[in-house]
Copies of this chain bind each other. A is one copy, B any other.
């Protein structure tokens, strides 16, 4: 039928020829693409330009221990309600590149090149997506770190352990720096994950950066227009930001929640990765009630890319309403 129509359109006479032969104008089938679009997205906050640059994602099996105060069936029900697959959990990662006009500022750095190899390209993509977005790592003036987990700090180093942003000042929360660099805290930390975090931070900041960092305090601008605010709980020095320019404002939440499904929809759920889960919940409710009341745009490191949206109250929890993608700037 299709063959006949095509021949008819081409004006071919021999439509009675064996229909199992390929059409006369046979073309090779187009190859399947093997890569997603380079995942970056730009928007303006007043005179400031923000580029969200995806570091990729990590998908893993949902363990009973993932959320300490909810049963796996409850988590699966929340995932299903959000049209997400059951029995697995996906974390998204989205560092930012902010051009203030005078300074090029990176906030958080993703999982880094070693993770890119280990994950077979599922994450550790910040470096290549940043270059796809037109940024030269050498042109970065400041790297601002929200907290000392590997998905935020490991991209500070190249695959051979040297600084990935060789001309940038690296700014770290003073409280976070003090905690992870304290030998007493390290010696008292439980074996396993916490010891691993201490070791990773010593590797990144001592071996890699030779301690060349600038600690910053909450309540002050760490870069032009970028106010650091205390959102502790997830880690002892966990930091969020208010980025302002003119009448533009966005709340950069860092890890106040992880993936909003299920952690914004169920703000009382305690994930294993929140170091002080009670405090993290208290912070989460305080911040989300504030952004709801002030109708503030929120940028979430672990929201699905591009991670910009507004928050609404939804029953006992919150829902993220993603901002519509602007195909031009």
- Residues of chain A touching chain B, judged by Cβ–Cβ distance below 8 Å, are 5-6, 9, 25, 27, 29-30, 32-42, 49, 51, 54-57, 82-84, 90, 92, 99, 101-104, 121-122, 125, 133-135, 139, 141, 167, 169, 212, 214, 295, 304-306, 310, 321-329
Known interface pairs A83-B321, A310-B83, A322-B322; A39-B327 also in contact (CB < 8 Å): yes
Tell me if B327 and A125 are in contact (CB < 8 A).
Answer: yes
A16–chain B nearest beta-carbon distance, Å:
20
Tell me if A6 and B169 are in contact (CB < 8 A).
Answer: yes
A140–chain B nearest beta-carbon distance, Å:
8
Contact of A83 among B35, B84, B295, B305 (CB under 8 A): B295
With the chains together, A133 CA to B32 CA distance in Å? 11
Most buried by B among A36, A56, A84, A327: A327
Known interface pairs A327-B57, A327-B92; A133-B37 also in contact (CB < 8 Å): yes
Chain B minimum-CB-distance residue to A216 = B5
Chain B minimum-CB-distance residue to A303 = B324
Tell me if A54 and B125 are in contact (CB < 8 A).
Answer: no
Tell me if B57 and A328 are in contact (CB < 8 A).
Answer: yes
Most buried by B among A134, A141, A324: A324
Number of copies of chain A assembled together: 2
Tell me if A38 and B37 are in contact (CB < 8 A).
Answer: yes
Chain B residues in 8 Å Cβ range of A214:
5, 9
Chain B minimum-CB-distance residue to A141 = B27
Chain B residues in 8 Å Cβ range of A329:
33-36
Tell me if A327 and B54 are in contact (CB < 8 A).
Answer: yes
A278–chain B nearest beta-carbon distance, Å:
29
Tell me if B57 and A9 are in contact (CB < 8 A).
Answer: no
| Sampled A-B contacts (30; CB under 8 Å) | A5-B169, A9-B212, A25-B167, A27-B167, A29-B101, A30-B99, A30-B135, A32-B101, A33-B42, A33-B99, A33-B134, A36-B327, A37-B37, A37-B38, A37-B41, A37-B42, A37-B133, A39-B325, A56-B328, A57-B326, A57-B328, A83-B310, A83-B323, A92-B324, A92-B325, A122-B328, A125-B328, A304-B324, A304-B325, A305-B327
With the chains together, A212 CA to B8 CA distance in Å? 11
With the chains together, A47 CA to B126 CA distance in Å? 29
Known interface pairs A41-B36, A169-B6; A327-B56 also in contact (CB < 8 Å): yes
Taking A9-B212, A33-B329, A84-B324 as known contacts, 18 extra A-B pairs with beta carbons closer than 8 A to each other, sorted by chain A number, are A9-B214, A29-B103, A30-B99, A32-B101, A33-B49, A33-B99, A35-B329, A36-B326, A36-B329, A37-B39, A39-B327, A54-B327, A56-B328, A57-B328, A83-B310, A92-B325, A306-B325, A322-B322
